[in-house]
Homo-oligomer: A and B are copies of this chain.
Amino acid sequence: MENKEIWLETLITNSPQEGRELAIKMARKSIATIQTNAETRNNMRSDYANDTAQLIASANVIAIEFQTIAAANNYWKKQ
């Protein structure tokens, strides 16, 4: 089962930028959980990569995931 791989052990990252990368990964994993066929996902890629409305909607998801990650990391503030 694809989702039984452990891909999310922690929300803690070394930097805000790594937090962005994790946010993108989380968004992608959500989609892969619903559309489990990797080839189908690849074939659909141009559907959204060339549609600005869908690109903006994707950015909305990333922004929400990043909120969670940023809070988990206490905004990467030095203590």
Q: What is the interface of chain A, defined by CB distance below 8 A to chain B?
A: 3, 6-12, 15-17, 20-21, 24, 26-27, 29-31, 33-35, 40, 44, 47-68, 70-72, 75-77
Contact = CB atoms under 8 A, between A and B. Distances in A.
Contacts of A34: 48-49, 55, 58
Given A24-B30, A71-B71, 20 more contacts: A6-B17, A7-B17, A9-B17, A11-B70, A20-B30, A24-B33, A30-B58, A30-B63, A31-B56, A31-B58, A34-B55, A48-B56, A51-B53, A60-B64, A61-B63, A63-B68, A64-B64, A64-B67, A66-B68, A67-B68
Chain A interface SS verdict (over half): helix
